Structure 1
Amino acid sequence: MTRLLDLSPSTPRTSPWPSGTGRTLAIGAFLALVLGGLAWLRLPAVARDTFWAEDGRNFVQSAMFHGWGDLFTPYGGYLHLLPRVLANTAVMAVPLDGYALFMSGAASLVAGVCAGIVWMVSRQHVGSGWALVIGASTVLAPLAAREVLGNAANIHTILMWTLFWVLLYTPTRRSTAALLALFALVAALTEVQAVFLLPLLLWRSRSRLRRIVYGGTLAGVLAQLLCVLLSPRKQTAFGHVEPLSYPYGFVINALMPIVLPTRAIGPVLSTTAQLVPLLLVAAFGAAFLVLLRGASSTARVIVSAALLLAVLTYVAGVYTTPLDLYDYASHSPAQLRAVWLARYGVLPSMLVISALCVAAGDRTRTRPEREGMRRSEAVRKGVAFGVVTLLLLSFACFFSPSDTRRSHGPAWQPQVVQAREECAEGAAAVTLAQTLGWSVEVPCGRIR
């Protein structure tokens, strides 16, 4: 089994793994379980037992009525392979009153597995400690618990994040490349924005093993594009977003949650307007300038790709869902005080965190030889220490979210108890409530 992953030191230029392949694989599995557990613990108990959006109304309901035949049924203009797999597994293997808990738990475990994968592949470019921070951000990014963690509908965000790191990795065994290609295929069949990762296929494309991974990615992306053509997305959100609201919103959703509690972001914005966001941009920009001094070309490429992808995915998310809530530049101080934080900031926030870690933890950084360069390196190490301290404090202090949008239910299990009574009275089907005013229709035959 251990030969399935690149855990051998036989190729030191491309394989970061220390001796002891079994130990490294065990660490990756351990991290997957621990971080998956942390993703679960970040959700309040009622949120774990509450369906989020499409999880109930679309995926589980479709699984109840159509079974495994719905795996490649488009929704919203694209495919959602993994959420449908999880929903069908719930319907097939779990009692009805455990559906919501299963979906939350399975999505948390998937996030943990993705975190383990990110840790293993990112070690090719950064030291193990920095890779741990990058992997942990999969589930500990402050804004992730609001809408992304613990639900299948938004697991595509975490798959997109993991696929970014998978495409930066150079396998050294065919079996490893095949496994990563399978992951890439599933990820691309779940997240239509994987199309934004296609430029990464040009990087180090001479590697035959990379091409195997690229093949899985391309197959999934082409299937998504075909789905977009045959079943185009219907416009469901209407509003107006000024051009200035895009960069302003990016800072609000991607940067501010890293340094401020989500409850404090609105009051800070209403008091200082653009001042704090501008200071944050300046601080992050200065940190990147210092950390990238002497960095390798590989580190510079990864940092640039991460930051560009962060901006692109945020802009694409808001542009395709134009709500007045995202028109931050036009909001009054009173509106800013109750600022709406979007899930479109979660992936950009992870990418910014990873870019900082790559800039600080570059494995192939050149060593300073002159006195002036050594002084510059001391400054860089000081900034790197400040960055890792900030990130660890952010993960710890903002672990428990102020609101997951499921924090007030409605919980699934109590409704199932009530539904059994309704079905006993002769009803043919019952309608159970979930978040956002959505509902799930359940046949009484299944409840009985």
Structure 2
Amino acid sequence: MESFLPDARRARMALLVLAAVGFAWLLTPRIYGPFTDHLHKEDGLIFLSGEQAGESLLTTYTGYLHVGPRLVTQTCAAAPPEAFAACVAGGSAGLRVALMVLVFAVLSPYVRRWGWALGAAGLVIFGGIGQQEVLGNVTNLRWFLDTAATMALLGSFKRLGLIILASVLLILGVLSDPLALLLAPVALWRLFALEGRAKIVPALYFPAAALHIALLNPEARGSFLPEFFVDPLINTQNMVVRSLTEAVLGETGTTAALAIAGPLAVTVLTIVTFALLYLIGFRRLHTQQKWMAALLAAAGFLFLVATVNFMDPHEIDVAHGVARASRYALIPSLMVGASLAVLLSEYPRTAWGRSVRAATVGLILVGSVADSRGDEWATRGPSWSATVEETRKACEGGAEMLTVDVTPQGVPKEWTADLNCSWVTPEAA
């Protein structure tokens, strides 16, 4: 079905308001302070340092491209140095708002009322997992771009504005994370299934994927796939809790559930609950809705499997909590949330049907609110404005480049950035 933004004025106004409020919310200080005045991990160590060293958009890091983060970095480096950290946060927020619009357009044909599509789109901004370590930085932007690439391929775009939006997000996604290369079968299917100008978006996947593959260094990351079969219980718990439980309860809610009931009980309860949700609701969907709901849920789960393939399952064992590598649950949370929106939009209008919808949506909202406090490590370091001021003073001594600390500090890994004095103090150039 063709992707579209509903013609109803209320729908478009609601989307516009959500986009404006969402963008502002993504830049709003959380309880740990103004994270927009901090430079986050690889944002400084890799991307800003690389920009200062003259690296191009096609420079690889850990074996693959990061075009989206590097594009935001290079654009923000053209602004005054004091504004760099805030600009990076703004660039990340802007891309998330663009993804929100894309999700709304893709899901609109598959739900009974546009409010369900808007709710699923709102998870991109307000979803619980998105308020944690992925907030306000470009280091973790690739998780959103993987979601964008998936949504761009699942949609059918015939209107020029949406074609441009989907094309840009698709290309950025494919050139920012090798996980997006796994979407090749989906792109091939959509290329043959769609007609006319709707073929434009999936057709653009292949040159972008070819470029990434040509520059890819697959030996840079090792696989832990054999470990998956050593302890299947741990791996099953990791998969279920990080793909399904966190999608509804968020990080904080899932942490509380694990502390109360333990990982095995949470895993079993999650499987039973989702099985009942889908068994009851799936039969009420028409064929295309069934395909979309199934594809979204499957995409979220498979992305998680591909992601944890590069991590020792014991290191991310949910028995020790889900805060470690919480970013891994982001794609599943968005995809499963979108799948639930399609499913619940057709649930019976009976008392029990309304109760199921209310309970599911209520848990997601509570989880999102609980996680909206942000990430405490996002401000555990020097403020960027102070760093720039101190660097300028140090550059007066005649240095050409200085290494400065970035956020977070007080952790085992040293997070720094290399700054050119000619950038920090342009008049010295």
Q: CA deviation at 1:425?
A: 2.9
Q: Is the 8 A contact 1:431 1:440 kept in 2?
A: yes
Q: Tell me which residue corresponds to 1:137.
A: 123
Q: Tell me which residue corresponds to 1:426.
A: 398
Q: Tell me which residue corresponds to 2:19.
A: 32
Q: CA deviation at 1:179?
A: 4.6
Q: Does 1:78 align with 2:50?
A: no
Q: Is the 8 A contact 1:266 1:337 kept in 2?
A: yes
- Unmatched runs of 5 consecutive residues or more in structure 1: 1-12, 366-373
Letter in 2 for 1:422: A
Q: Are residues 264 and 18 of structure 1, via their aligned partners in 2, closer, same or farther at CA, if it must alter by over 3 Å?
A: closer
In structure 1, distance between residues paired with 2:36 and 2:220:
30
In structure 1, distance between residues paired with 2:109 and 2:245:
29
Match of 1:106 among 91, 114, 126: 91
Q: Are residues 237 and 47 of structure 1, via their aligned partners in 2, closer, same or farther at CA, if it must alter by over 3 Å?
A: farther
In structure 2, distance between residues paired with 1:310 and 1:55:
26
Q: Is the 8 A contact 2:239 2:301 kept in 1?
A: yes
Mean alpha-carbon deviation: is it higher for 429-438 or for 128-137?
A: 429-438
- Unmatched runs of 5 consecutive residues or more in structure 2: none
Deviations 1:339-373 (A, max 9, x none): 635211111111111111111125xx9xxxxxxxx
Letter in 1 for 2:363: L
Q: Are residues 404 and 314 of structure 1, via their aligned partners in 2, closer, same or farther at CA, if it must alter by over 3 Å?
A: farther
Q: CA deviation at 1:178?
A: 4.8
Q: CA deviation at 1:154?
A: 1.4
Q: Are residues 53 and 252 of structure 1, via their aligned partners in 2, closer, same or farther at CA, if it must alter by over 3 Å?
A: same
Q: Is the 8 A contact 2:241 2:270 kept in 1?
A: no
TM-score normalized by the length of structure 2: 0.85
Q: Does 1:360 align with 2:333?
A: no
Q: Is the 8 A contact 1:77 1:234 kept in 2?
A: yes
Aligned length: 412
Q: Are residues 95 and 210 of structure 1, via their aligned partners in 2, closer, same or farther at CA, if it must alter by over 3 Å?
A: same
Q: Is the 8 A contact 1:124 1:169 kept in 2?
A: no
Mean alpha-carbon deviation: is it higher for 318-327 or for 265-274?
A: 265-274
Q: Tell me which residue corresponds to 2:378.
A: 406
Q: CA deviation at 1:133?
A: 0.9
Q: Does 1:51 align with 2:24?
A: no
Letter in 2 for 1:247: T
Letter in 2 for 1:385: A
Match of 2:303 among 291, 304, 313: 313
SS in 1 for 2:124: helix
Match of 1:117 among 65, 80, 102: 102
Letter in 1 for 2:86: L
SS in 2 for 1:124: helix
Identity %: 22
Letter in 2 for 1:357: A
Q: CA deviation at 1:174?
A: 5.5
Q: Is the 8 A contact 1:46 1:408 kept in 2?
A: no
Letter in 2 for 1:350: L
Deviations 1:265-313 (A, max 9, x none): 4464355331122112211221111121221111211121122212211
In structure 2, distance between residues paired with 1:358 and 1:338:
27
Q: Are residues 218 and 340 of structure 1, via their aligned partners in 2, closer, same or farther at CA, if it must alter by over 3 Å?
A: same
Q: CA deviation at 1:208?
A: 2.2
Map 1:233-382; keep pairs closer than 5 Å: 233-235=219-221, 242-260=231-249, 262-263=251-252, 265-266=254-255, 268-270=257-259, 272-273=261-262, 274-322=264-312, 324-328=314-318, 336=320, 340-362=324-346, 379-382=352-355
Q: Tell me which residue corresponds to 2:48.
A: 60
TM-score normalized by the length of structure 1: 0.82
Aligned alpha-carbon RMSD (Å): 3.0
Deviations 1:377-411 (A, max 9, x none): 6644442333233333333343223x353132332
In structure 2, distance between residues paired with 1:392 and 1:260:
8
Q: Are residues 392 and 323 of structure 1, via their aligned partners in 2, closer, same or farther at CA, if it must alter by over 3 Å?
A: closer
In structure 2, distance between residues paired with 1:120 and 1:42:
30
Mean alpha-carbon deviation: is it higher for 177-186 or for 411-420?
A: 177-186
SS in 2 for 1:70: coil
Letter in 2 for 1:398: D
Higher relative contact order (CA 8 A, sep 6+): 2
In structure 2, distance between residues paired with 1:46 and 1:30:
23
Letter in 2 for 1:110: L
In structure 1, distance between residues paired with 2:405 and 2:222:
21
In structure 1, distance between residues paired with 2:156 and 2:256:
45
Q: Does 1:445 align with 2:422?
A: yes
Deviations 1:222-258 (A, max 9, x none): 2222222xx3352389996644333211333333335
In structure 2, distance between residues paired with 1:339 and 1:399:
14
Q: Is the 8 A contact 2:2 2:109 kept in 1?
A: yes
Q: CA deviation at 1:109?
A: 1.9
In structure 2, distance between residues paired with 1:42 and 1:128:
31
SS in 2 for 1:430: strand
Mean alpha-carbon deviation: is it higher for 35-44 or for 147-156?
A: 35-44
Q: Tell me which residue corresponds to 1:205.
A: 193
Q: Is the 8 A contact 2:174 2:209 kept in 1?
A: yes
Letter in 2 for 1:134: A
SS in 2 for 1:76: coil
Q: Tell me which residue corresponds to 1:416.
A: 388
Q: Are residues 174 and 115 of structure 1, via their aligned partners in 2, closer, same or farther at CA, if it must alter by over 3 Å?
A: closer
In structure 2, distance between residues paired with 1:77 and 1:35:
33
Deviations 1:188-228 (A, max 9, x none): 12232222333333157142223111011222222222222
In structure 2, distance between residues paired with 1:176 and 1:119:
11
Letter in 1 for 2:116: W
Q: Is the 8 A contact 1:433 1:440 kept in 2?
A: yes
Q: Are residues 157 and 404 of structure 1, via their aligned partners in 2, closer, same or farther at CA, if it must alter by over 3 Å?
A: farther
